[in-house]
Structures are given as C-alpha cells and as structure tokens.
Structure 1
C-alpha cells in the first residue's frame, strides 16, 4: 500500500516522498539509479541524489525498483511495443506489394490455400483470413536485435524527480489540492482523490469543497469513518448514494443502486431531511434527476422512517405526487415571454445561472435599457460567481468577437465532440466589450500579487484547465486548446491497446489537411507509405497488447495540418479495453533506436472516451514553417465497426477547424493580469535561479528554487484558477 501511495504522489507532483532506510554509503547505487532513470527520460535532482547517497545500498535499490516501475508506466514503457514490420521505419513495403506478399504466403500454406483460392475466385479477399496479416511475425526480442541502439540527443526529454517531504505530508497536501480544486477533476484524478480521502479525510480538509463530485467522494470516506457529512443540496445526497453503489458521481451515467446497509440508508435519509428542512425550495432540484431519485427511493425505503418527513417529500416530488416548481422552469417561462427584466431579477438570486444566460439575455433584450440592466446585474453579482464560471464566460465572449457563421464545437463530459454552424445573432459589440472589461477586472481582483513572478515561456500558451475533463491522465498532456512547440525533424506517434475479452482491432491513422482544411492525403493500414512518412503495419488483435506507429519527416510533409487519429475497426471501445494510450515522440534525423524509445516520448495520453474515433491532438504548421501541437482530447461517435480515416475525413476536418480556430484562455491571460504591480520575468532552463522565494509558473519545477517558493506546474495548474 505504501508503494501505491508513493507512486500516486510521484505521478501527480514528480516528487519522491523522502526515502526511508538505514544510513550508509549508497552513493554508487544512487548514481546507477540515476543512469537507469536516464534511459526512460528522467533524472534525480541534486537534492534527491544527495539524500539517496546517504542511505544504505539496500534502501537505494528498494527505492529505485519502486520508482522505476512508476516512471516507466508514466511514459508508457511498462509494456512491450512491438511493430509489425521488424525494420520499422526502414523497409516498409508498398501496400499492394505487402498484401500480395501475404497472399503468396497463404497460398504456400496447406491450411489456408483452399480458402484463399475460393475467395479469389469470387473476387473478394478477407485480409484477416491470411495467416501473415495482422499478427506479429516476430518476437519483441527479435525486433530489438534488428534495431540499432538509440543515439542520444540534447533534445531528448529529461524530467527531473525532486525530493519530497515525508509521505504523510505529501499525501495530505495532495489531498487538499485535489479535494479543494476549483475545477472538476478528470476520471483518473477522481479515483486518486477517493484513495487519498480514505486515508486523509479526518485530518485537515479544504473549506469549502466547491466541486460537487469531489464532495461526494469525500463524503463517501467521511461516512465510512463516522464523520459528519458535507451536504447542502439534495443532489449532494444523490451523488453520495452513487458513490456508495460504485456508480458515477458526476451523474453522467445512470447508477444501479445497491441494497445499502441500514446505517448508510439512515445517513442518506437524515441528510435529505436536513437539507430540505433548512430550505424547502431545494426540493425543486429533484426535477433535474427525477428518475435517479425514484430508483434511490426504492432502495432507501423512506416510509420506514417517519421521523424524517422531509426526506419522504424528495421522493414524492420525484414520483410527481408533490409539486415543487423548478427554478429553471420559472426562468424559462419568463424568457418565453421575453420578460428580460423579470428573468434578470430572478436569475440574480442564482449568480452562476445568470452568468450562463448572459449571452442569451443580451441577444433578446428589447433595447439598450434592458441590456444595461443585464450588464448591471452581472457586475453586481460577479463576486459571488466561481472563478471557473467567470473565466468560462470570458473565453466565450472572446470568441464571440468574431463573425458568426464559423463552426461551433460542443464537447460533452465524455469527450464526445460535434460541430454545428454558429447561427446565433452577434452580441452587440459595445455591450460585449463592457462585459469583457468587467470580467477582466473581477478576475484581476481575485488573483494574488506575488512580489516576484518567474514564468517559463513554454507554459504561456497552455489553456487554462477550466475542467479536468478537458484533459486525460498521462505524461506531458496539456488541456484541450493548449499549444506547444514541436521540435526535432521526425515526428512519430503511436497507439497501444490491450483487449479485455473480445478480439479488438485499433487502427492508427494520420490525416493530412491543407490550410483550408481540405484533404491532402493520409497514412493508414491501407496506405503504408507516402506524404513523407510510413505506417508500421496493421495489427488486428491484442490479447497480449499491440502497438501501431506512424513516422513522419516534418520537412517532407506537404500539408498544413497533421491529424493523428485512432479508429476502432472492431471490438472493445476505449473505455472497455484493459488499457489504451496514445503518445508521440520527437527525434533528430540521425537518431536510430527502437520504434518506441521512452526518453524521446514527449507526451503519453490515456484513451478513455466515449466514441469510436479518438482525436488526441493536431499538429499545425505555422507561418514561419515551424510546427506546433494543439490538444483536442476529442472523440467522435463513428460507427459500430470498420471506422476508417478514408470515411471520416469530412467530420474530422470540421472538428479540427472548430477547435483550431477557437481561442482558449491561456496561462498568458492570467499572468498578464497578475503582473500589473509585480516583477514578472521569463525564465528558461539554464537561467540563474533567484535566491529569494518566488512564485514560479512553468511546465516543470526547476532545481534550486527557494523552499518557500510557490510553485505551479502542469500537475497542479488547476491551482491557478481563482475561487
């Protein structure tokens, strides 16, 4: 268990909790550990190396084994990445030549000859019936023996592991950071919060816990330990019931409620009763999840507990036996009547809802007087609105500055994306700009004013993580809409998957688009070479795991956009397979090495969305010829089977255009607001480190920062979002 918790801290913070063990001379073992880390793109900080050197050799070896296992998993090196063509990226054949070769081998095989001849006689050939197609023809060890050793490059990734404090302190700090997050967490982080809450929930806790699903996970732990529950809406109780049943606390997917033990039933009913007794208007919240409350009532048996009559009212509303008019229905009625002043007065009592309705209110207002009233109400309630909602509206209004008619992208909680034309009338420019100025002032007032601000230039174009669902778990993964530089001459991306039960075939493809988003060309299992790149070959099943690669020479690519995609041709979805992830590597022209070299991996992103086509990111050629990546984290619905890049070119290009042309609020926006009365300096690796405490914002923590410095890096970037 200690290793699991240590690994959790390491994944989130890149800090190794202070290693324990008897004192001794572990310097030699520590240096060997550092060399081993280098092979997977990591290294020990000087402080951590010194700490390990003072421990016994046995303690260092024990720490090294645990840590190497964790970092290999972080970068995707915990599995074997074989390639269908043993010499990949060299000697990849022409597609038709390869298929002919497979047919020739099948005709020489007594077990397959007759079947292949029959198919050929009918003019249709199933590639999967060919013994040499889609299945590795060599072992992983044979692949390694056939590849040259990697030539080290100064451009290879190096991620520094820092010395942390003792394990309990690190766990408590991480628990406080996740539980108190001002933005929703992604699925992996929510699971980590559950683990941390089980250990830390009776200690210090954040006040408040603003994100409701985080609160549900914390309440689950508090209930198990007999602590008071944190409830102020009936939906809080519903989320807790979902957690107790192993269901979805985000309420995105329906939960099959379990038969709960009597103490849990009493706690849930008492919680409902207390919430409604304190504010009967909270009954209106039941309507948003009526069916879920009906099913929950069947498990809780409220009629057995007459001492909690308000809890029974909750289920009476769900069944339609008691009236509780919802807030949203009252607002909708006023809007249907075009009663903007009435809607504004009502919405002012729910500031978050008012902010979400501002665009609509400004568009339907009858005259400037009504628009002025809308803006005045927004400014008046702005201090009561969460920072995430304020920033979301600011981003929305920034994109409303453009002409209408451009594509509009929608993304649900599962990462499913779709595009429609933007047919909304424009928001009057003067009103929009007044609101933008007011929002900027509100955000500026909430931001800290550090004495000295140190900025890593590489993080400035990273999109603000307004939702943890706009990213995934992994290494070097940036929120949706972020931009990052792409160096090196060769781009190689990959997908790995391992099926759970059914035969599963994922196909890695690359769609190349012109500057106007029309199709240039593509690489896939049906087109193994061309456009400056090669495909590693089609693998059609993955009982032991499988990997496909695409290697591209960025100098030879003719298109303006490179869109990697993972198509599910057959079998289990991204949320059903045992494991699946996407990543990309960057290499210089002279570098050789295996198809997968962990220290050249720039990003590894888990694939866990709803849909049959995954679009992790897009590579874009800038006007100066350099390439940058823009993160998408999108999934398209696709079809149930046989998804192919050739068939989804139009839908993919529409989604790519919508995201590429959308302007995200970035770290640069906040730091510009923050640095009004602050000394702000850009910092790059190799620059001197100030001796005094600073506020540092960057992708990774540099070595040598003063211990009292406030550090915001990719792992805790959510802490930059004001409450």
Structure 2
C-alpha cells in the first residue's frame, strides 16, 4: 500500500478537489488529449490497487478517463487523489504504537511493567549491572531523555519509544532495532461498509460548475453549518463566488451564521464595495445580523459564543450598516441588542450611531435605549426625541428613551401562570412559540391548553424544520415520566448537560393532539415538494438520528449525525485509534485512548487504558505514548473482542480520549481519532489499515476529554455520541471519571433510544408517504415490501402503514427505479435526476442524481 505523507494539519482547509471528492465522490481531470498507452494503463492499474487498499473503487468512466491522460498528468492526478484520501482517512500519518507487535506483545501485567519502569528509573546506574536482570554491559542511555535502559529487559525490536518514560526517542538511537515482521494480512479482506466508487466529474470547467452547485446547497441550509461545512463554504466561495457579479447570491440565506460568513466574505475586498454594500444592506433583517457580521469581520465566530475585540469599521461600511439598522423597527432592534448588551455597546463604539443620528435616527434611538442615554437639550437629544415621537411604541421616561421589551412581558406572564395571556405574545415569534411548547402545556389548565394548541396550528407553519422536529420528538415522549433531561447548550464544544427530570408528565390526550399537529405540518410541507412515483426507504436508517446541533459536530470521514446507532458485523474486531502531534503552543502533550467497560446497570467493571493494558483478552491496549513531537507524532490503539467482553459480563464499552496533562485539543498541530472494523485477527496486517477505517474524526475543540462513541456489546451496535466531557486538573484517567462517563453514556443512550429525537428513517418515511404513490421498504434481512397509497388514503394514514405488516406486496428481485430514495448504502436502481440520501453513497453517480446530505433532508422541510 502506498502511503502519502503530507504536512497538513486538522486546521488546514481542504482543497476544492477534496471538498468535491467528499461531497460528490467525483474526480476532475485536465482536458483529455492523449490516446491510452501501455504505460498509462499500467499506471491506472497501480492507482486502482492503491485505492482498493484505502476502501475506494474506480468507476468505469473514471478509469477510462484516467487511461487517456499522459503519464505526467496521470501521476499528478493520482498523487493528488491519494493525498486527499489519505488525509480523510488519517493514513497520511505515521502510526507506530508503543509496542510494535501489538496486540500480541502487549504485556499481560501492566502493574509489573510499571514496577520495572520505576525501579529502573530510580535505581539504574551507568556502567553497572541491570537492577532488574543483573546482566553486565546491557544498560545504556537513550536519546534524548537519557533514561538508562537495559537492552535485555526491554526489547528494542518491539518498543518504539523509551521504555521508562514512553516518550519518543531518536530514530537512529541504537536501542531501536528493526521491528519483527507482522503477519501479512489476507488479500481477501472485506471492503469497508463505507466503500465508495469514485466517478468522473469532468474537466476543470465542470469542477467549477459543480462547486457552484455545492455552494448553493450550503447557502440553502436553514440551520448552523458543521465546522467542516463551514470550512468548505469558504473554499467554495473562493472558487465559485464572484464579488463583481452577484447572480449566484440568493435573495435569502436562511442560516443566520452562514449569512454572516458570506457577507463578511463579500466585504473582504474593499474595491468591490460598489457591488457588495447594497447586497449586504439588503440581506440584513435583524440587528443581530449586524452583530454577527461585525464579529466575523473581527475574526470571531458567527455563533456569538465568544465576542472578540472589534476591528475598525471603514466609513462606507459603517454608513451601510447604520442604514440597514435604520430601516428596521427600533423596538425589535433594541430587543435584539439587549440579548447581547455588552457586545452591542462595544460595537456601537465602532459604528458611531450618534455621529450619524441626523441621517439614521432610528438606529441612534435603538442604541440610546440600550445605553439608557440621558436626554438633555443638545442637538443629539433633540434628534432622539423627534425619532421617539415618530415611534409609537417609544416612551420618554425620566429623561431616557424607553422601548417595550417583548421577552420581559412573556416571562412575566408565564411566571404568573397566565398562559392565556402569554399565548398571543409568544405567538408573535412562531419559532419561540414552538420552543416553549412544553413549558406552556405544563402550566396550562384545560382551557389554556386549548388556546395553546389552537395557536400552535398557526405557529408551526412558520417554524424552522429543526425547531419543528425537535419539538415533535420531545413532546411525543412527555406522557411518561423521565429520569433525566439532556441539554446540548450552544457553545464552541459539544457538551451535554444532564439534570434530573422533575417535570410532571403531560396527559396522553394533550401529547397525542400536539404530536398530530406537528406531524401533520411535517407531512404538509413534504407534500409541497415535487411528487414522485416510486420512493425507496431502507429500514436500517431507523437507527440514524436526524441531525441537530451541527455547529459542534466533529469533522469526520463519514457524516454520521450525533446519536445514531449502526450495527457492527458479527465476528469482527473493533480497533479504536488516536493520533496526535504536538505544536509549539501545546508543548509536550500526552493523549490517552481508553475504553471503559460497564455492565447492564452502567456499573464500571473494567478499564483498558494506560493503567491497565489488558482487560482479560477482551480489550488490549497498544501502549501509552507520552509525547508526540513533530513530524511523526504518536498513535495509540485499543482492540475490542466483543465476544470475549460479552462472556466477561460487559454490556457497554465507552471509548474516550483524555488529554492527560490537560492540554486543549485545539492547541495540537494535529489530532484525530477513529474506529476500524477488522475481519481478521488483530496480530495480522498493518496496525493502521486504511482499508478497514470506518470512521475518523478530528479532535479540534477546546476540550480535554472526548467521548465519541459507546458500543452495546450485546446488541453489537455502535452509537455515535460525538460529545466532550468537562474535566478539571490534570492526570486524567478513566477510573477518575468513571462515574461521569457512566452518567453521560446512560443518559445519552436513553435519550436517543427513547424517541425524543426524530430518526432519519421515520423522517424519510414521512417524506416518502407525502410525495410518492409507491413506497418500497428494504428490510435488513434483504427482503423488500411495497406499499401503495390508496385513492382516498391521506398521507398520515399512509405513513403509519409504511413498515407495518399491512404491505401491499413483496418485492421480488431488484426494486424499480426510484425517483426518491433514502438509503443506508447507494446500491439500488435510481432514476435519472433522483433525489437520494445515502449514508454510504457507494456507487451512486452524483452527476446523474441529486445526492442529499442528512441536513439537506431536514432543510427540504423549510417553510415556504
């Protein structure tokens, strides 16, 4: 297998080719002029071999296009392709574990090894017999740590670092000897579940056109983009965006954070202000839009989690932003400003609203209300008084400007238990109404509950898809008492806040009516989309969760929504891995890959980490690397034998990555982790096998502890958690945080298994039922069932029947070509221009269909 080494870090943007390779599975080549030659055909065969070793295949069209390149162009294209794939898989790094013969040579007694290391550290002397074995002439210092190591007690052919401190040593140190060869892996290894067939996207002009299509897709997303999509957005803007011709810019960008980033990109070139300033002004619809824009221009995050020091605002932009604020209702502007008062007071210092009060009086009025500006007899005060008189909602109280605050009115009504008084107020903000639905229903008596549900029928028509689905999932579980509540607070890290659920359950009649209204709205929106004849839905998608809180999702090889559960093939070994590389900022950094074992009751019964290299034969650690200097970095692995773990009473395995010395992941030059699913014994094949990598994700947050997944040993499933854990101090280890890990694992698995989060599979069924005449469900056993919508059957009844035994027919052979498909793998017949979601696209030709991501499936339900 060819390994391409690059100097990329997790903080480096992907190239345009890598972006399109990930989203479309397409490869773009220079204009083809050469006839196929023997050398080109041989080169393509070698490239194909390298790709198979990484879990990728070439389509016939791409293979033919590659053979038509001259040898120089082929070498360049092949090198670029392998570099992008290796970076995505993590195989562009050196992955040498502490024990190079892992898992075979991992010691069985970690404590005994620790005692030997301590004795050697404290008592070993130069030019003296070894304190452990008594042998003369075998003790030598290793470089650069200078620890005295006995070459008889510690095998230099197996160790890759100092046996005493486990830190990296010089590659030419005499202690290190050539590693014993590993058993060659079988050439009949299975291809990974995430297997993808790469297609030919066309020439470089086609690449630019496709980049424009991907840009349009991201701009249409209603929610916050994931970090990876955010980075890709900037790449696509640089390629497909044009500041002089804004025909590509949509009239409305529904994602507020996305809008701020796009507007900031437009303003990056001051020479284009003539074209961009009018577009920026037209796009601003709230005061918070202005604040987000100023934050992004100052190098901050559009989510307003942390507010940076604002940079100077050029005078033309200052006037444009004040003009935009002046065109809004000052009551709403002030209300928005009071959500971030400190930030707005600093922003106002850059905008100078009072300097332009005569031109933009309503903008100045809003800032005056925020600052509780004391009116006097000067010119500014007279201007503000005039603007206040023209605003019917504005009052002058004790010489200051006062504007009514909607939020305080709502909170007062709810605090007094006056739900019927609160309903018309909250209904003014449809999204807020749906978010507060549970709270209002808890406070409401029967009459007030009727008022809430009546208002809900109108509010849902304007709520965002994410808010709608979140409320639907939460309400449908509220007729039963819960043990805990899980919140995912907005922030830069994916944290889960868990509290005891002290809410009284809602009545079944209320939850049923509420769920009916919310589900009916989902079906109504879906029915407004283009109708199709045949839709295919994979039942295996039931374990995949509709995406939420995407702004904190890890950059990953497979875009798997948080909370999703996937099966692990029987008889396979699961290998967890982590790789990191220190930076000048981080200094010496020790990451620790760990596996915590729990029984059915979530009691901690075992650990596999640097304190215990083996948990019987069920979990085996590769050794604790305690430093990761550039350019090699360091890697750790844990092998999990699920059959052996089950025999030992283990029900759940929680994978974790701790920063032992409390260095934030974001300070590292490179840090990522992942999971391989191996169909061969652990001692065969390379330690890091790119072909067997099923998931790889970056560690780039400010956190010091990551909890990416939990494995259900009995059910043979892996649930993707993708959360971080708050830790303090240093010397982190599983046994010190076992209670918190158990609480996190139990609460999150309970949340996602309860139905409180909408599954992508059921969302697919609703959309298929509303849009198609025939729905085919492919079951996990390989069979398929057909459901046909009756002439008088409404979408809700049809959706309830899909997946039930009340099928209309069994499907023999391959299903007919689908115009709409929601698939686990892209392995069914698709009509031209079909809309397709596939967790693993496999052989889907993205040039012939519209490939959707999970967020796109949700965004399709945006209110019209």
**Normalised by the size of structure 1, how large is the TM-score?**
0.91
The alpha-carbon distance between structure 1 residues 56 and 401, as it changes in their structure 2 partners (threshold 3 A), is farther
Partner of 1:292: 343
The alpha-carbon distance between structure 1 residues 3 and 596, as it changes in their structure 2 partners (threshold 3 A), is closer
Partner of 1:570: 661
Give the counterpart of 1:264 among 317, 326, 338.
Answer: 317
Partner of 1:120: none
Residues 662-702 of structure 1 deviation map (CA, whole Å, 9 limit, x = unaligned): 13311211122233343223459999777856223234544
Cα distance in 2 for residues equivalent to 1:323 and 1:270:
22
Aligned 8 A contact 1:216 1:243 in 2: yes
Partner of 1:415: 494
Query: What secondary structure sits across from 2:667 in the alignment?
Result: coil
Residues 12-59 of structure 1 deviation map (CA, whole Å, 9 limit, x = unaligned): 332223554433314332222211111112121222222223333332
Give the counterpart of 2:469 among 379, 391, 395.
Answer: 391
Partner of 1:537: 623
Partner of 1:646: 735
Cα distance in 2 for residues equivalent to 1:703 and 1:364:
50
Are 1:454 and 2:540 an aligned pair? no
Give the counterpart of 2:326 among 269, 273, 276.
Answer: 273
Give the counterpart of 1:221 among 247, 265, 275.
Answer: 265
The alpha-carbon distance between structure 1 residues 95 and 164, as it changes in their structure 2 partners (threshold 3 A), is same
Partner of 1:123: none
Are 1:666 and 2:777 an aligned pair? no
Cα distance in 2 for residues equivalent to 1:718 and 1:348:
27
Give the counterpart of 2:774 among 646, 669, 679.
Answer: 679
User: Could you tell me how far 1:73 is from its partner in structure 2?
Assistant: 0.7
Residues 514-543 of structure 1 deviation map (CA, whole Å, 9 limit, x = unaligned): 111111211110011124121111111222
Are 1:73 and 2:87 an aligned pair? yes
Q: Which runs of 5+ in 1 are unaligned?
A: 118-127
Query: What secondary structure sits across from 1:335 in the alignment?
Result: helix
Are 1:360 and 2:445 an aligned pair? no
Partner of 1:524: 609
Partner of 2:197: 160
Matched positions, count: 706
- Pairing 1:168-317 to 2, within 5 Å after superposition: 168-201=208-241, 202-223=246-267, 224=269, 225-226=272-273, 227=276, 228-229=279-280, 230-276=283-329, 280-306=331-357, 307-317=359-369
User: Could you tell me how far 1:188 is from its partner in structure 2?
Assistant: 2.3
Give the counterpart of 1:369 among 424, 429, 447.
Answer: 447
Partner of 2:416: 337
Aligned 8 A contact 2:21 2:27 in 1: yes
Residues 414-473 of structure 1 deviation map (CA, whole Å, 9 limit, x = unaligned): 211221110111122210111001111110111244322233444342111133236321
Query: What secondary structure sits across from 1:215 in the alignment?
Result: helix
Are 1:480 and 2:597 an aligned pair? no
The alpha-carbon distance between structure 1 residues 151 and 500, as it changes in their structure 2 partners (threshold 3 A), is same
Aligned 8 A contact 1:406 1:421 in 2: yes
Query: What secondary structure sits across from 2:185 in the alignment?
Result: coil
Cα distance in 1 for residues equivalent to 2:224 and 2:422:
28
Query: What secondary structure sits across from 2:597 in the alignment?
Result: strand
Give the counterpart of 1:48 among 46, 57, 62.
Answer: 62
Cα distance in 2 for residues equivalent to 1:108 and 1:38:
51
CA RMSD across the alignment: 2.9
Residues 125-170 of structure 1 deviation map (CA, whole Å, 9 limit, x = unaligned): xxx9965322246859977763233224453313222232511121
Cα distance in 2 for residues equivalent to 1:155 and 1:139:
34
User: Could you tell me how far 1:313 is from its partner in structure 2?
Assistant: 3.0
Aligned 8 A contact 2:594 2:609 in 1: yes
Query: What secondary structure sits across from 2:191 in the alignment?
Result: coil
Cα distance in 2 for residues equivalent to 1:416 and 1:576:
19
Cα distance in 1 for residues equivalent to 2:857 and 2:701:
26
Query: What secondary structure sits across from 1:679 in the alignment?
Result: strand
Give the counterpart of 2:19 among 8, 16, 19.
Answer: 8
Partner of 2:100: 86
Partner of 1:697: 822
Query: What secondary structure sits across from 1:540 in the alignment?
Result: coil
Query: What secondary structure sits across from 1:647 in the alignment?
Result: helix
Partner of 2:376: none
Stretch moving more, 218-227 or 609-618: 218-227
Give the counterpart of 1:627 among 716, 721, 724.
Answer: 716
Query: What secondary structure sits across from 2:199 in the alignment?
Result: strand
Aligned 8 A contact 1:232 1:275 in 2: yes
User: Could you tell me how far 1:272 is from its partner in structure 2?
Assistant: 2.2
Cα distance in 2 for residues equivalent to 1:461 and 1:335:
37
Aligned 8 A contact 2:479 2:507 in 1: no
The alpha-carbon distance between structure 1 residues 647 and 183, as it changes in their structure 2 partners (threshold 3 A), is same
Partner of 2:151: none
The alpha-carbon distance between structure 1 residues 593 and 417, as it changes in their structure 2 partners (threshold 3 A), is same
Partner of 2:155: none
Stretch moving more, 266-275 or 287-296: 266-275
Aligned 8 A contact 1:404 1:422 in 2: yes
Cα distance in 2 for residues equivalent to 1:699 and 1:418:
31
Give the counterpart of 2:184 among 129, 149, 161.
Answer: 149
User: Could you tell me how far 1:706 is from its partner in structure 2?
Assistant: 4.2
Cα distance in 2 for residues equivalent to 1:571 and 1:657:
25
Stretch moving more, 510-519 or 38-47: 38-47
Cα distance in 2 for residues equivalent to 1:533 and 1:235:
51
User: Could you tell me how far 1:319 is from its partner in structure 2?
Assistant: 2.2
Cα distance in 1 for residues equivalent to 2:179 and 2:779:
36
The alpha-carbon distance between structure 1 residues 317 and 76, as it changes in their structure 2 partners (threshold 3 A), is farther
**Normalised by the size of structure 2, how large is the TM-score?**
0.77
The alpha-carbon distance between structure 1 residues 287 and 9, as it changes in their structure 2 partners (threshold 3 A), is same
Cα distance in 2 for residues equivalent to 1:129 and 1:666:
56
Cα distance in 1 for residues equivalent to 2:189 and 2:643:
20
Aligned 8 A contact 1:234 1:285 in 2: yes
Stretch moving more, 689-698 or 580-589: 689-698
- Pairing 1:707-718 to 2, within 5 Å after superposition: 707-714=832-839, 716-718=853-855
Query: What secondary structure sits across from 2:736 in the alignment?
Result: coil
The alpha-carbon distance between structure 1 residues 23 and 445, as it changes in their structure 2 partners (threshold 3 A), is farther
Give the counterpart of 2:458 among 380, 383, 386.
Answer: 380
Residues 345-374 of structure 1 deviation map (CA, whole Å, 9 limit, x = unaligned): 111111111111111111111x21111110
Residues 600-623 of structure 1 deviation map (CA, whole Å, 9 limit, x = unaligned): 1110011233432210010013xx
Query: What secondary structure sits across from 2:660 in the alignment?
Result: strand
Partner of 1:500: 583
User: Could you tell me how far 1:103 is from its partner in structure 2?
Assistant: 3.5
Cα distance in 2 for residues equivalent to 1:340 and 1:610:
41
